[in-house]
A and B are shown apart, each in its own frame.
Chain A
Amino acid sequence: QKEVEQNSGPLSVPEGAIASLNCTYSDRGSQSFFWYRQYSGKSPELIMFIYSNGDKEDGRFTAQLNKASQYVSLLIRDSQPSDSATYLCAAYSSASKIIFGSGTRLSIRP
Chain B
Amino acid sequence: ETGVTQSPTHLIKTRGQQVTLRCSSQSGHNTVSWYQQALGQGPQFIFQYYREEENGRGNFPPRFSGLQFPNYSSELNVNALELDDSALYLCASSLGGGGETDTQYFGPGTRLTVL
A: which residues have CB within 8 A of B?
4, 8, 31-32, 34, 36, 42-46, 49, 51, 88, 90, 92, 95-103
Contacts and interface: CB of A to CB of B under 8 A. Distances in A.
Given A45-B106, A100-B35, 4 more contacts: A46-B105, A95-B56, A97-B56, A102-B40
Contact of B56 (A34, A36, A96): A96
B103 interface: yes
Contact of A51 (B33, B58, B101): B101
B24 to A, nearest CB: 14
Given A31-B100, A44-B90, A51-B100, A98 B45 contact: yes
A100 B107 contact: no
Contacts of B42: 4, 88, 90, 100-103
Interface in B28-70: 33, 35, 40-45, 48, 55-56, 58
Given A95-B56, A97-B58, A102-B40, A43 B90 contact: yes
Using C-beta atoms within 8 Å of the partner chain, give the interface range for chain B: 20 to 34
A32 B33 contact: no
Contacts, number: 57
B87 to A, nearest CB: 13
25 contacts: A32-B101, A42-B109, A43-B90, A43-B106, A44-B106, A45-B2, A46-B103, A49-B103, A51-B100, A88-B42, A88-B43, A90-B42, A95-B56, A96-B55, A96-B98, A97-B33, A97-B58, A97-B98, A98-B45, A98-B104, A99-B45, A100-B42, A101-B42, A102-B41, A103-B42
Nearest to A46: B103
Nearest to A44: B106
A57 B82 CA distance: 44
Contacts of B56: 95-97
A4 B44 CA distance: 12
A8 B42 CA distance: 11
Nearest to B91: A43
Nearest to B2: A45
Contacts of B45: 97-100
